[in-house]
A and B are shown apart, each in its own frame.
Chain A
Amino acid sequence: QVQLQESGPGLVKPSGTLSLTCTVSGDSISSSHYYWGWMRQPPGKALEWIGSIYHTGVKYQNPSLTSPVSISVDTSKNQFSLDLFSVTAADTAVYYCARGGRTHYDFQAFDYWGRGAQVTVSS
Chain B
Amino acid sequence: DIQMTQSPSTLSASVGDRVTITCRASQSISRWLAWYQQKPGKAPKLLIYEASSLESGVPSRFSGSGSGTEFTLTISRLQPDDFATYYCQQYNTYSTFGQGTKVEIK
* A interface list, Cβ under 8 A from B: 37, 39, 46-49, 52, 60, 62-64, 96, 98, 101-102, 104, 107-111, 113-116
Tell me, rounded to whole Å, the shortest Cβ–Cβ distance linking A49 to chain B.
4
If A114-B43, A115-B43 touch, whether A109 touches B1 (CB-CB below 8 Å) is: no
Tell me, rounded to whole Å, the shortest Cβ–Cβ distance linking B55 to chain A.
7
Tell me, rounded to whole Å, the shortest Cβ–Cβ distance linking B76 to chain A.
22
* B interface list, Cβ under 8 A from A: 1, 32, 34, 36, 38, 42-46, 49-50, 53, 55, 87, 89, 91-100
Tell me, rounded to whole Å, the shortest Cβ–Cβ distance linking B43 to chain A.
4
Q: Which of B44, B96, B100 contacts A113 (CB 8 A)?
A: B44
If A46-B87, A104-B91, A104-B92 touch, whether A111 touches B46 (CB-CB below 8 Å) is: yes
Q: Which of B45, B95, B100 contacts A46 (CB 8 A)?
A: B100
Q: Once the chains are docked, how many angstroms separate the CA of A48 from the CA of B87?
A: 11
In the complex, the answer to whether B96 meets A49 with C-beta atoms within 8 Å is: yes
Tell me, rounded to whole Å, the shortest Cβ–Cβ distance linking A48 to chain B.
7
Counting chain A CB atoms within 10 Å of each CB, the highest count among B53, B97, B99 belongs to B97
If A46-B99, A107-B32 touch, whether A63 touches B46 (CB-CB below 8 Å) is: no
Q: Once the chains are docked, how many angstroms separate the CA of A1 from the CA of B67?
A: 32
- Using CB atoms, name the residue of chain A closest to B41: A116
21 inter-chain pairs at a CB distance below 8 angstroms, sorted by A residue, are: A37-B95, A39-B97, A46-B87, A46-B99, A46-B100, A47-B36, A47-B97, A52-B95, A60-B94, A63-B1, A63-B94, A96-B44, A102-B53, A104-B32, A107-B32, A107-B92, A107-B95, A109-B34, A109-B50, A110-B46, A111-B55
Q: Which of A107, A111, A114 contacts B91 (CB 8 A)?
A: A107
In the complex, the answer to whether B1 meets A49 with C-beta atoms within 8 Å is: no
Tell me, rounded to whole Å, the shortest Cβ–Cβ distance linking A110 to chain B.
6
